Structure 1
C-alpha cells in the first residue's frame, strides 16, 4: 500500500511546459513543403499503404521525380521535384486504391486529426425539370454536398469537394410551394468503394456501425433509398417565392 501511495504521489508531480517556435523556423518549414501533396487512405483496413506509396509514382509516370512516405494513421505524403508536375496530378482527382477512395490535396499547415479528408468529385445531377434547370438550382444542390469548385450548367454537373468522412448524399427531395416534390439523383464520377448501408467511404457494410445500431434497436430517422443507406437530403422551400430565389437562400 505504501508503494502504491508513493506511485500516486509521483504521478501527481508530472509537469508540463510550453515551447515557443520561432516564426522564421516555421516559415522555412512551410516553404520546404510547398511541393508536397498529402493524402489519406479512406479505408486503411482494406488498403495497403506500402503498396500505394510504391505504386502512385508509377501510375503518375514520375518514378524518378516523386518520393512518397507513410506518415502513420492512414496518412501519406509525396514530395515532388518540379512544381509543373503537380497541377496534372490534382486535375485527375479523385483517386482510389485497393477498391476504396483516397483523399489527396496540396499540403497546408493544418493541425487536425481529420486532415486531410477532402475528396473532389464531379457530380452528375439528374431529375431536374426543364423549367427549373438553372445555375442557382445546381448551386443549391452543390452546397448540400460540399464545397463547390465549378458548375457546368449545360452538362448538369458540379465539381464539389466533399468531406471523405461524411456519408454521401445520393438523392435530394425538393418540396415545391404547389405541394409537388421533385426527387433529384446524384451520380459521383470515379466513385469506388462505399458502404451500401450508410454511404460512407470509410468502411464496407460488413463492419458498418449503423448496421450494429439497427441490430440493437437503435435506428436513425434519416432518409433512405432503396439500398437502405442514409443517402437522401430534403431541401425545404418556403411558400410565396420563386424557386430560383428560394434556392439562392440555401
Structure 2
C-alpha cells in the first residue's frame, strides 16, 4: 500500500460529515416536463400489494394499454406517466383506486409536494339510519364531517328519495380508522347513525384501518400476547400446585406430609410459609440421635495403654487381669524378655531357636554315612517304629502334666480373684 493511501486512511474520521451533492439545474437533469402528465401513488399494504404486479396490471385494468407506463419509485411509491391529459383526468375521476382489493392513494404530480401529500383520498360515504329531523343540508354536512372533510352532498329536498341512505363525498385521511357508526344526540334523545364506504373492500376489522389485515393488527397482537401471558401464568400456577414441596432428599421428608404444605386452593396462600419451612429444615439438620443406656458394664471393653512406672513386672501382670483395676498395659522397665519400641509399648521378644551349629550337624551326617547300609536300614526301620510311638506317648504326657509356670500363674490368678474361689 502506498504512502499516499496510508495518509488518506489516517485522515478519515467517522465524525466527519459529508457534503451534499448539488444536482445541476439544467434541462437535461430534470424530468419535470414529462412528469406534468403523470400520477403519483402509494400502496397502503405492501405485504399484500406487490409493486411489480401493480405496474404491469394497472394499464390493462384502466383500459389504457399503450397510453400509460408505470415506474416503481420504491416498495410503496409508484408513478404512471400518461400520453394525454384526458386519460389522466379520467383516472382521477374514478375516485378510490384499489389493487388486490386493498386501497391505494393516487394524486396528480406536483413539483413541490406538501407535507400531507398522498395522505388523503376522495371517499364516497353512505349515511344510514339518519333521524327524521336531520334531513337538511347543514345536518347532512355535519354528519359527513364525522368521517372527513365534506366536499359534496347528494341531496335534493324537492325530489323523492328512494334509497335509505344519503351519499356524501369526503376527503378522508387514510391514517385514521374508518367509523362504522356514531351516536348522535339532539334534545336529550340519542340515535345511532351508521356509515358505509363505497369501493372499500378489505380492511382490518379490529381497528378499521386500511394498511393491514386483522391478523397483523397491533390490537390483535397485543390481545394474543395478553392471552398467552395469562395462559402461561395459569399453567405455571397449576404446575406449582402439583409440584411436590417436600422431596426425598429434603430434611423434612417423612416428618411432614405433602397435604400439610403447598398452596391452599381456597386462599391461594402457602399453608406453611416458606420462611417457616426453611427454619424447620435448619432445625431438622441440627437434630442428633439421643444417647442410649446399657446395663452391660464390660460391653466392647478394650485395653487401655498407660506409661506409668510399676514396682514389679508381676504386679503389672496381675493388675492387667484384675477385675478391680482397668485393663491397662503400662510401660515397664527393661527386662530380659521385654524390649521398648518407638511407640512406647513394650514388646515381648520371640523365643530363641536352639539348634546345633552347622559343624555339629555335618559331623553327625558323616558318621551316619560311614555306617553300613544294612545297619542303617535296620536302624531307620526300628527308629520309625519305636520313635513314632514313643514321641506320641511323650506328647500326650506333656499335655496332661502341667508345667510349673502354668501352676504358678493359675495359683496367682486364683488368689487375685476371690469370686472365682467362691464359685470353685
- Same-fold call, TM > 0.5? yes
Secondary structure of the 1:43 match is coil
Spell out, residue by residue over 1:143-201, the C-alpha distance to the aligned partner (whole angstroms, 9 max, x if none). Answer: 2222322111246111112122221111111122x321121101101111100100001
Q: How far off is 1:138 after superposition? A: 1.7
Cross-structure match for 1:10: 13
Structure 2, gaps ≥5 residues long: 1-8, 157-164, 227-424
Question: Bigger shift: 66-75 or 84-93?
Answer: 84-93
Are 1:194 and 2:203 matched, yes or no? yes
Are 1:164 and 2:167 matched, yes or no? no
Q: Give 1 or 2 for the bigger CA radius of gyration.
A: 2
Q: How far off is 1:139 after superposition? A: 1.3
Structure 1, gaps ≥5 residues long: 1-5, 218-250
Which structure 2 residues correspond to residues 79-98 of structure 1 after superposition, within 5 A? 79-98=81-100
Q: Aligned equivalents of 1:214 and 1:146: distance in 2?
A: 29
In 2, are the aligned partners of 1:40 and 1:117 still within 8 Å (CA)? no
Spell out, residue by residue over 1:19-58, the C-alpha distance to the aligned partner (whole angstroms, 9 max, x if none). Answer: 5986x97xx7544322111111111101111111111111
Count of matched residue pairs: 206
Q: Aligned equivalents of 1:110 and 1:142: distance in 2?
A: 27
Could you say if the C-alpha distance between residues 15 and 41 of structure 1 is closer, same or farther in structure 2, counting changes exceeding 3 Å? closer
Q: Aligned equivalents of 2:118 and 2:181: distance in 1?
A: 26
Structure with greater proportional strand content: 1
Q: Aligned equivalents of 2:134 and 2:149: distance in 1?
A: 22
Q: How far off is 1:126 after superposition? A: 0.8
Cross-structure match for 1:75: 77
In 1, are the aligned partners of 2:134 and 2:140 still within 8 Å (CA)? no
Spell out, residue by residue over 1:94-131, the C-alpha distance to the aligned partner (whole angstroms, 9 max, x if none). Answer: 1211121111121223155x742322221110111222
Q: Aligned equivalents of 2:224 and 2:188: distance in 1?
A: 36
Could you say if the C-alpha distance between residues 161 and 21 of structure 1 is closer, same or farther in structure 2, counting changes exceeding 3 Å? farther
In 1, are the aligned partners of 2:51 and 2:75 still within 8 Å (CA)? no
Q: How far off is 1:216 after superposition? A: 5.0
Secondary structure of the 1:195 match is coil
Q: Aligned equivalents of 2:66 and 2:184: distance in 1?
A: 51
TM-score by length of structure 1 reads 0.74
Question: Bigger shift: 123-132 or 190-199?
Answer: 123-132
What stretches of structure 1 move > 6 A for 4+ residues in a row? Answer: none
Q: Aligned equivalents of 2:140 and 2:90: distance in 1?
A: 26
Which structure 2 residues correspond to residues 227-242 of structure 1 after superposition, within 5 A? none
Are 1:173 and 2:176 matched, yes or no? no
Could you say if the C-alpha distance between residues 21 and 130 of structure 1 is closer, same or farther in structure 2, counting changes exceeding 3 Å? farther
In 2, are the aligned partners of 1:122 and 1:157 still within 8 Å (CA)? yes
Which structure 2 residues correspond to residues 211-226 of structure 1 after superposition, within 5 A? 211-215=220-224
In 1, are the aligned partners of 2:147 and 2:172 still within 8 Å (CA)? yes
Q: Aligned equivalents of 1:140 and 1:16: distance in 2?
A: 52
Secondary structure of the 1:145 match is coil
Structure with the bigger RCO (C-alpha within 8 Å, sep 6+) is 1
Q: Aligned equivalents of 1:165 and 1:149: distance in 2?
A: 19
Cross-structure match for 1:135: 137
Cross-structure match for 2:49: 47
In 1, are the aligned partners of 2:71 and 2:79 still within 8 Å (CA)? yes
Spell out, residue by residue over 1:72-109, the C-alpha distance to the aligned partner (whole angstroms, 9 max, x if none). Answer: 03111100110011222111121211121111121223
